[in-house]
Amino acid sequence: MEATLASVRESDHDQAITAALPSLLPRLYNFARYRLAPDDARDAVGAALEHLWRNRGRAPDADTVSVEHWAMRVAVNKMLDEVRRHRRRPSQVSLSDLDIGVSDPNDRLPQLLQLRAALETLPRRDADLVALRFGAELSNLEIAELWNMTPGAVAVAVHRALGRLRTEIGLKGDSDART
Amino acid sequence: MQEPDDTEIADLLTGLRFKAPALEDLWAPERTSRRATPSRVAIVLAVAAVLLVSAGAVAATTGWFNVLQPNGECSKGDPTCGSDYTQASIAVNHVSNVTMVDVLVKKGLSQARLGQIAAEVAKKNADHRVIVYLLDDLPPGPMDAGFAGTPADDSAPALAPPASLTPYWVLTYDLGTSGVRETHP
């Protein structure tokens, strides 16, 4: 029996997802690092990208923006599963691990480290939410689609999670209190 | 009572950024050994291949992907020694057993091209796990027409795979059509 494979050629889906990877990777990794230690975060991102690649044939036949949106949703869903698979363990943050631009004031570093440690103290759902919103940089609307909530409910939940985080690191968060 | 302002904490969170690893580093050998499942290499092999092809890169990457580079050196008993071709092998891990896929490729073939072939195998085996590596010890066998860049047919002589790795397919990379031909012995 002989069968000739189609010429090796990228499909439209392959191209669209490949094009989306450069922007997806840092967002997925940051989401993972909000929740996991470095090695676990890398594994989780790897698993998410494998999952995405396996399912690329299901990507919508639409413009690149839609494919990227779909890809992010699929990958993030997989990463939420991955995060749940890991037992919590003490966070590890080194200076070289942080991507702090030259414009960042140096005196924020202790606060950032404190903030990362504080993320460990949040209830799981709050931690997921903060990681989705600020690590993966999803909008309230995108989180709402992911979790089958209304954007308003997401906004409230984010606000509450930030309140807990703020309390944990000792920020008052009150406009009057800062002035 | 005034609601707390999220601006400061949100600003701080926005500043909490981590350096993402390069894509290929996610599956570096030392990391794949950590969770040594072929799929970790496999599917991303396809991703990496597409990336390479998209970028037009030829042999421009480092790390684990170098494992794809065909072996251009002659070894004792290597039937391809002296020819322009060498053999790469793709192991398709079906749920319980491993199937070998042998790909005859031109020596010096770009990683990107070999990656394309592997990607094609991965596409055909979307539900399976695929890993690509090179056979160091090629089994003795004919290296005649049918392999050496000419279109394959049913009568093409096949390299005998190691007995423990049957069943297998042979894919012949057809230089003339830039296609991949598949034969089942």
**Mind listing the pLDDT tens digit for each residue in A19-43?**
788 888 899 999 999 998 888 888 8
Rounded Cα distance, A5 and A13, in Å: 18
Reported as a single tens digit per residue, the pLDDT across A38-73 is 888 888 888 788 778 767 778 887 666 678 888 899
A54 in reach of chain B (CB within 8 A): yes
Which is more confident, A132 or B106? A132
Full set of structural domains in chain A with CATH: 10-87 (no CATH), 108-179 (1.10.10.10)
Looking at beta carbons, which residues of chain B come within 8 Å of A166?
A: 4, 6, 8-9
Span B100-114, average pLDDT: 44
Residue A133 has pLDDT above 90, yes or no: yes
| Chain B residue at shortest CA distance from A10 | B50
Q: What is the ipTM of this complex?
A: 0.81
Q: How confident is the model at residue B94, as a pLDDT?
A: 32
Strand segments, DSSP code E, in chain A are 2-4
Q: Measured between CB atoms, does A97 come within 8 Å of chain B?
A: yes
B130, β-bridge pairs = B92
**Tokens (6 digits) for B66:** 């170098």
Is residue B149 a contact partner of residue B155, using CB atoms and an 8 Å limit?
A: no
8 A C-beta contact, residue B142 and residue B157 = yes
pLDDT at B31 over 70: no
pLDDT for residue A106: 57
